[in-house]
Amino acid sequence: MDNPPLPPADEDSTLTANALKAMAHPVRWRILCTLGNRELSVGEIVEKIGTSQSNISQHLEQLRDKHIVTSRKEANRIYYRIRNDQLLTLIGTMRRVLCPANLDE
């Protein structure tokens, strides 16, 4: 009889739970779908999603606080990307099933 797989480490479980909580909001989910495996500036995200910069910035801050995305500043622009490969895999799988195709354009 095979042994059942071990549960993930606490840190991985917390990261996953935080990611899923963050994804539960429609605007944050659209941000993550828009980012995918790319790095985009706040302006590019605003352009693709079609809401205000302040709204997008607030949601990006929440995603950053939950360690879902990371950012870097270049001149007067801030660029965001999904933080790690595990989240990319999770979000990528969910994107293929749930994200509208036009977010990749």
Beta-strand relationship, 40-41 and 69-74: unpaired
- Which of 39, 35, 40, 80 is CA-nearest to residue 61? 80
Domains of the chain listed by start with CATH number: 10-98 (1.10.10.10)
Find the mean pLDDT for residues 81-95. Answer: 85
Beta-strand relationship, 40-41 and 77-82: antiparallel
Q: Give the predicted TM-score (pTM) of the model.
A: 0.76
Helix axis angle, 10-23 to 85-98, nearest 10°: 40
Separation between Cα atoms, residue 56 and residue 67, nearest integer Å: 16
> What is the four-CA torsion angle of 40, 42, 45, 50, rounded to 10 degrees?
-170
pLDDT tens digit string along 1-59? Answer: 455 565 555 667 777 777 788 888 999 989 998 998 899 999 999 999 999 999 999 99
